Amino acid sequence: MKLLHFSVIPMLLLVFLAVPALADMGPPPNIIYILADDLGYRELGSYGQEKIKTPRLDALAAEGMRFTQHYSGAPVCASSRCVLMTGLHCGHSLVRNNWENGGWGEFQPEGQYPLPTGTRTMASLLKEAGYTTGVFGKWGLGGPGTTGAPEVQGFDHSCTVICQRKAHNFYPNHLWKNGEKVILDGNGWFKAHQKIKEPLATEQEYYDRYLRERYMADVFLEEALGFIDKAHTSNQPFFLYYPSPIPHVALQVPVEDLEAYPREWDTEPYLGGSYLPHPRPRAAYAAMITHLDREVGALLDRLEKLGLAENTIVMFSSDNGTTWAGGVDYEFFDSTGELSGLKGSVLEGGLRVPFLVRWPGKVAAGSESDFPSYFPDVFPTVLDLAGLADDRPHDGHSLLPIFHGGSFDRTKPLYWEHGDQQALRLGDWKLVRRRLGKKNPATKLFNLKEDPGEKQDLASTEPERLQELLEVSRKSRFPSKIFPNPGLDNDR
């Protein structure tokens, strides 16, 4: 009976303490989640960036909460987005890598492995709760006509580059709107991956070859603003998912955007290879991020204009860390700071990402949190915001207590896997396993509080801690028939 006594009383206290908060919530808030693509942890001014201009995102940080230990769902695109939409981490999720349907040609099938019918996404649950839902940007969770298409997975309105491969060209010849193919006039098809042997004679020659008329990020912004307008007119709460394709390469941005950055930055052009050439690669990368910053500003300005800002929570993050490919000079921009690793790695630089939250009157302006959090937490947080019961399987915790300035003890670990890599964070400790299933596997242990750069391996000096995290990691996953992973599947 003592066990019952000590477990029930705290639960009752939590219920009574929660009643005033629930009573004060009022109408359900509008929810906007903005997702950058391959934006590094230190590529915003509010996170220490000194070269790239991000005034609107820096203002967003000043008006809300900045998280310093937030992580993406995975170190690559599709699997990270699946984690975000479903709340299931990489050991339980449906999509565990960038599985491709088709190739790179103009008429190849589009899409990645589709979310199956019956998937409970954030969008589908919010739609059932009375929200109007929209997605505008890069999708990557199923091609046109599949079970994973946005209109099948809970979105009332969509305008997307539905296939990640098509997103490698910021001037595609078509997009997908509400399940229908829409041709972008002025954007003739051309290969998104090219290499030239020698620099072209003039900058204009690059632009004539590799730019067209309609920049897809601008199309997504127009559609998103129209969605907000319509939701406001209907007086219906809305969920806007805005997965911008920026700053994923190729390096393509309207020419006028380059003027914000010095010519002296670029002493030689990028000749292409895995992505398109550009005469001013450093300036182009910075200009792309500043372009994204303006997109965020336009969305925030529309909320203010319509009187929606007070009852709209805005969240901003990135799907993984910064890339090394396509002419991106991450060292020049110090894109990851002291963190090790880049996109594709389960080290901190591949996973730790910016996370900003603004909710006037609910989230204190200028606040900061070092609470370890990640994409699976967004799912229960959104359910909480909408007043929905938290009875769906997921691997996260609602972050509402953190948003409101409180805290709680995290009971669920943070877990990732990608290819032959696995990582798990429990408190300040992080397990990193790489080259699993290979001849020379590596298992390392880090204390992130003392060593956020993951430079000092403590596996040999903390054997009990290492075994604890290894045991938790083995219990944190099950094999996937669709995405077999021998290095982990055979690890019992």
476 shares its domain with 338: no
Residue 185: give the domain boundaries: 28-412
172 shares its domain with 60: yes
Half-sphere exposure of 121 toward its Cβ, with a 13 Å CA cutoff?
28
230 shares its domain with 289: yes
The confidence score (pLDDT) of residue 102 equals 76
Among 350, 381, 412, where does a domain finish? 412
Residue 20 has pLDDT above 80, yes or no: no
Q: Give the residue-averaged pLDDT of 260-270.
A: 98
Domain assignment present for residue 18? The answer is no
C-alpha distances (whole Å) from 324 to each of 37, 96, 267, 321 are: 13, 21, 19, 10
256 shares its domain with 338: yes
367 shares its domain with 256: yes
Which pair of tokens denotes residue 350? Answer: 């591949």
Residue 22 has pLDDT above 60, yes or no: no
Residue 8 has pLDDT above 80, yes or no: no
Which pair of tokens denotes residue 47? Answer: 């996170």
Q: Give 45's DSSP letter.
A: G
C-alpha distances (whole Å) from 190 to each of 199, 209, 248, 478 are: 19, 9, 18, 41
Domain assignment present for residue 230? The answer is yes
The confidence score (pLDDT) of residue 101 equals 82
400 shares its domain with 446: no
Residue 23 has pLDDT above 80, yes or no: no
375 shares its domain with 439: no
The confidence score (pLDDT) of residue 98 equals 87
The confidence score (pLDDT) of residue 11 equals 35
Q: Give the separation between CA 383 and CA 120, rounded to whole angstroms.
A: 12
CATH code of residue 451: 3.30.1120.10
Among 362, 381, 412, where does a domain finish? 412
Question: At 62, phi and psi to the nearest 5?
Answer: -70, -25
The confidence score (pLDDT) of residue 109 equals 84
Residue 54 has pLDDT above 70, yes or no: yes
Average pLDDT, the chain: 94
Other CB atoms within a 10 A radius of the CB of residue 55 amount to: 12
pLDDT tens-digit map of 174-187: 999 999 999 999 99
Tell me if 120 sits within 8 A of 85, measured CB to CB: no
Domain assignment present for residue 4? The answer is no
Number of domains forming the structure of the chain? 2
Domain assignment present for residue 217? The answer is yes
Domain assignment present for residue 278? The answer is yes
283 shares its domain with 356: yes
Residue 6 has pLDDT above 50, yes or no: no
The confidence score (pLDDT) of residue 123 equals 98
Domain assignment present for residue 20? The answer is no
CATH code of residue 162: 3.40.720.10
pLDDT tens-digit map of 155-172: 999 999 999 999 999 999
Domain assignment present for residue 17? The answer is no
Cα diameter, the chain: 84
The confidence score (pLDDT) of residue 5 equals 32
| Choice among 89-103, 297-311, 355-369 with the minimum mean pLDDT | 89-103
- DSSP assignment of 424-470, as one string? EEETTEEEEEESTTSSS-EEEEEETTT-TT--S--TTT-HHHHHHHH
Residue 86 has pLDDT above 70, yes or no: yes
371 shares its domain with 436: no
Residue 319 has pLDDT above 50, yes or no: yes
pLDDT band at 104; cut points 50, 70, 90 = confident
Domain assignment present for residue 380? The answer is yes
Residue 234 has pLDDT above 80, yes or no: yes
Q: Give the residue-averaged pLDDT of 134-152.
A: 98
468 shares its domain with 382: no
Among 412, 429, 452, where does a domain finish? 412
pLDDT band at 25; cut points 50, 70, 90 = low
- DSSP assignment of 254-279, as one string? -GGGGGGS-GGG-SS-B-BSSS--BS
Look at 98 and 245; give whichever has higher pLDDT.
245
Which pair of tokens denotes residue 3? Answer: 């066990």
389 shares its domain with 426: no
Q: Give the residue-averaged pLDDT of 305-322.
A: 99
Percentage of residues in the chain with pLDDT exceeding 70?
95
Radius of gyration from C-alpha coordinates of the chain = 22
301 shares its domain with 327: yes
Residue 4 has pLDDT above 60, yes or no: no
The confidence score (pLDDT) of residue 248 equals 98
Q: Give the residue-averaged pLDDT of 237-254.
A: 99
Q: Give the residue-averaged pLDDT of 29-42.
A: 99
At residue 166, what is the residue type?
K
